[in-house]
Structure 1
Amino acid sequence: MKTSVIIPAYNEEEHLRTTLRTLKKADWTNELIGVNDGSSDASGRIMEKYCDITISFIKNHGKTAAAKAGWLASKGEYIVILDADLRESAVYGKRLLSPLQNNEADLVIGTVMGSGKNGFGFVKRRVQRLIHRKSGLLLQTPLSGQRAFHRKHIEYYHQLEAEGFGLETMMTLKAIQEGFKIKEVEVPFMHDGKGWGLPGIWHRGKQWLEVERCLWKYGKSYS
C-alpha cells in the first residue's frame, strides 16, 4: 500500500462529506483514514461511510492526538495529513507526494488559500520567525495542516508531546532538529477561516495558547 491519507476532524460535518468523497475517488489515495476527535455532530457517521478506517474518540483530545492515532493505524509508505474542510480541493493532495518520491524532501508542506477570514496572523508570524531563525527557511504557511512525510519518520513525530494546534509547529521544528529536508509547495487548497465572531476568536486564541505552550515547554531545545 503506497499512500495513506489521514483526516482528523472535530465537528466538521458541513464540509467533511465532500472532502472524503473527493479523496475516495482520487487515484492516488490507497488508504483513507478518518479520525473523529470526539465530535458531537455527524462527522463520525460520515467517516464510517467513506473511510477505509475510522477511529472515534469519545472525548475531544485535540488535533495532535487525532493525527497520531491515524499515523499508527496507517500502512502506507507515504503519510498525507489533510484538513477536513478542503472539499473538492482535497484532490490536490497528490502534489505533496512528488517531492517525497523524488527524494527532494522528507517533510512537505502545502500552502492553503484562505477565504479572508483567517485572523491577524500573530501566531503565523511568530512561528515564521522562529523557523527562519533555526533553519533559514521562510515558510509562507508554517501552520498549514496539509503535510506529507515518509512512513520511516513516524517515530520521530510520534515522540512529540505537542498539544492540539501545536502539532504543525512542533513537526516542523522536529524535522529541522533531525536534519530533514523540508519543502513548501504551492497547492490550491481552499478552506474557510473561522471568521471574526466569537467562535473565530476562541479558535485563534486556543491555537495561540497551544503553540505558545509547546514552544515554552520545549524552549531549551528550540529557542
Structure 2
Amino acid sequence: MRISLILPAKNEAEGLRRTLPGVRAVLPDAEVIVVDDGSSDDTAAVAREFGATVLSSPYSMGNGAAIKRGARAATGEVLMFMDADGQHDAALIPPLIARLDEGYDMVVGARGWDGQASVGRGLANGLYNRVASLMTGFQVADLTSGFRVVRADKFKEFLHLLPNGFSYPTTITMAFFRSAYAVAYHPIPVAKRLGKSHIKPLRDGVRFLLIIFKIATLYSPLKLFAPAAIVFALLGLGNYAYTFITEGRFTNMSALLLSASVIVFLIGLVSEQITSLTYVKGREQ
C-alpha cells in the first residue's frame, strides 16, 4: 500500500527541518510532497534537502489550494496530510494508518484542549465540533484538524468541493459523512508550532463563523432551513392569533411571516436537491 504524504507549507523552513527527518524515519518509502504556497524563505530548498517532491506556487493560493495541488500530484493509494509547522509528531503516523485496516476510509488526529492554539480557537473549534455532531448524528471529535490519513480514491472524489482557504478539513469531513464513508478519530498530542500562524483573528473571524453555516449546507441544507421555516411559521401563526383576538383581522405582518416560512422551506428543499447532485457529480469524476 503506497503512501503519499502531503504537507502544505508557507514560510515553514524551520518547521520542515523538524518534521521531515521524523517523517523519513517512520515512512522511508513514502512519497513526500511539500506544496510551497508562495513562500519567501527557504521552504522549497529545505524540502528538497530532505528528498521531498516540491510543488511551488509563484504566489500564495491558500491552504486548501495547496492540499488540492498535492492530492492531484500524489500517486499513493493512501494520502496522509499533516502541518509543516512542527506541531505534528511523525511517530503518530503509524497508529493512524493502522486504523484504516479496521475498515475506516479516513482517520483524523483529534486534538485535546491542550492542543488548541488559544482559548478563543479552542472555544470556536468546540462549537464547530458540536454543530457537526448534531448535523451528522456522529461524534465529531475534531472538525478542523489538519492531521489525517485517507483513502486516495475517496478523497479525490471531493476535490471540486474543497475551498482554497483554511476550511478544507471541515469540507472533506462533512463530505465523507454525507457519502457514508467511515470516519474515525484518534487522540493525538500537539506541540507548539514554530513561527507565526497564518490565521488572523480579525480577518478570519467572520470566515470561520460562516463555517457553521457551511457545515449545515454541506451535509443537509434542509436541517438548517426547516427549523428556520418552522420559526417563521410559528411567529406568523402567533401574530395572527394575537391580531385576530385583539383586532379581529388578519394583518400584513402575519402574511409576511407565513410567506417567509414557505419561501425558506422551499429554498431548503431546492438546496437539498442541489447538494445531492453535487455529491453524485463527485463520484462520476
Q: TM-score, normalised by structure 1?
A: 0.85
After TM superposition, give the deviation of residue 123 of structure 1 in Å: 2.6
Match of 1:7 in 2: 7
Residue deviations 1:70-112 (CA, integer Å, cap 9, x gap): 1111111110000112367223112211121231x11110023
Bigger shift: residues 162-171 or 83-92:
83-92
Compute the displacement of 1:163 (Å): 3.4
Name the CA distance, whole Å, in 2 between partners of 1:214 and 1:97.
28
Q: Verify the 8 A CA contact 1:6 1:82 in the aligned structure 2.
A: yes
Q: Aligned equivalents of 2:67 and 2:172: distance in 1?
A: 11
Alignment check: 8 A CA contact 1:48 1:54 kept: yes
Question: Which residue number in structure 2 is paired with residue 75 of structure 1?
Answer: 75
The alignment yields a C-alpha RMSD, in angstroms, of: 2.7
1:141-193 CA distances to partner (integer Å, 9 max, x unpaired)? 22110011101113223021423111111111111111111100023342438
Matched, 1:157 2:154: no
Q: 1:151 to 1:44 in 2, by over 3 A?
A: same
Q: Does 1:93 align with 2:93?
A: yes
Q: Which has the higher helix share?
A: 2
Name the counterpart of 2:107: 108
Mapped partners of 1:88, 1:117: distance in 2? 13
Which has the larger strand fraction? 1
Alignment CA distance shift 1:202-1:63 (3 Å): closer
Question: What secondary structure, in the 3-state scheme, does the structure 1 residue paired with 2:161 have?
Answer: coil
User: Which of the pair has the greater relative contact order for Cα pairs under 8 Å at 6+ separation?
Assistant: 1
The runs of 5 or more residues in structure 1 that have no matched partner are none
Q: Does the 8 Å contact 2:6/2:34 carry over to 1?
A: yes
Distance 1:93 1:86, change over 3 A: farther
Identity of aligned residues (%): 24
Query: Amino acid of the residue matched to residue 203 of structure 1?
Result: K
Return the letter of the residue paired with 2:157: Y
- Mean CA deviation greater in 80-89 or 46-55: 80-89
**Distance change (3 Å), C-alpha of 1:115 and 1:138:** closer
Q: How far 1:67 sits from its partner (Å)?
A: 0.5
1:91-144, Cα deviation, whole Å (9 max, x unpaired): 3112211121231x1111002365664241243123112211122333332211
Distance of 1:133 and 1:119 partners within structure 2: 23
Q: Conserved in 1, the CA contact under 8 Å of 2:105 and 2:151?
A: yes
For 1:74 and 1:85, how far apart are their aligned partners in 2? 21
**Does structure 1 retain, via aligned residues, the 8 Å contact 2:174–2:215?**
no
SS at 1:97's partner residue? helix
Equivalent residue number for residue 22 of structure 1: 22
Find the aligned partners of 2:136 and 2:124 in 1 and give their Cα distance. 18
Give 1:118's aligned residue.
Answer: 118
The answer on whether the counterparts of 2:99 and 2:107 sit within 8 Å (CA) in structure 1 is yes
**Aligned residue pairs: how many?**
218
TM-score by length of structure 2 reads: 0.68
Q: Would the aligned equivalents of 2:85 and 2:194 in 1 still touch at CA under 8 Å?
A: no
> Is the contact made by 1:5 and 1:29 (CA closer than 8 Å) also made in structure 2?
no
- Distance (Å, rounded) in 1 between the aligned partners of 2:148 and 2:95: 10
Which runs of 5 or more residues in structure 2 are unaligned?
Answer: 225-285
Matched-pair contact (CA < 8 Å) for 1:33–1:52:
yes
Mapped to 2, the partners of 1:205 and 1:157 lie a distance apart of 29
How far apart are residue 209 of structure 1 and its match?
A: 3.6
